[in-house]
């Protein structure tokens, strides 16, 4: 869990790095080797960002589910039979 929390803390920094890499990739002066190197770095950073976002989505879903409480569709009213 500590590694995941670190990813969350670094998300903004990684996202800014990703934006910079994409901007750099748009430069017409890059060689093919430079472009591939930047692309590889961008893929790694984007995977880190996606991992942090997926963890955040899952955590938000758990919290939302906790707020809902028990599943009300399966409950019957008090004093009635569920036939």
Residue 75: inside a domain? no
What's the pLDDT tens digit per position in 3-33? Answer: 667 778 899 999 999 999 999 999 999 999 9
Residue 35: inside a domain? yes
CATH code, domain carrying 58? 1.10.287
Q: How far apart are CA 20 and CA 52, in angstroms?
A: 19
Helix, strand or coil for residue 82? Answer: coil
Residue 43: inside a domain? yes
Domain extent for 18 = 2-67
pTM of the model: 0.68
What's the pLDDT tens digit per position in 54-83? Answer: 999 999 999 999 988 765 555 555 555 554
Residue 73: inside a domain? no
Q: How far apart are CA 2 and CA 4, in angstroms?
A: 5
Residue 79: inside a domain? no
Exposed / middle / buried, residue 52 (Cβ in 10 Å: 0-12, 13-18, 19+): buried
Task: Domain count for the chain, please give it.
Answer: 1
Contact 9, 47 (CB under 8 A): no
């Amino acid at each position: 869990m500590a590694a995941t929390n670190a990813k969350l803390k670094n998300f903004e920094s990684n996202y800014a790095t990703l934006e910079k890499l994409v901007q750099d990739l748009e430069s017409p002066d890059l060689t093919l080797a430079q472009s591939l190197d930047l692309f590889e770095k961008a893929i790694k950073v984007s995977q880190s960002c996606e991992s942090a976002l997926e963890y955040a989505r899952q955590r938000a879903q758990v919290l939302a589910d906790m707020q809902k409480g028990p599943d009300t569709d399966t409950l019957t009213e008090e004093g009635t039979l569920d036939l």
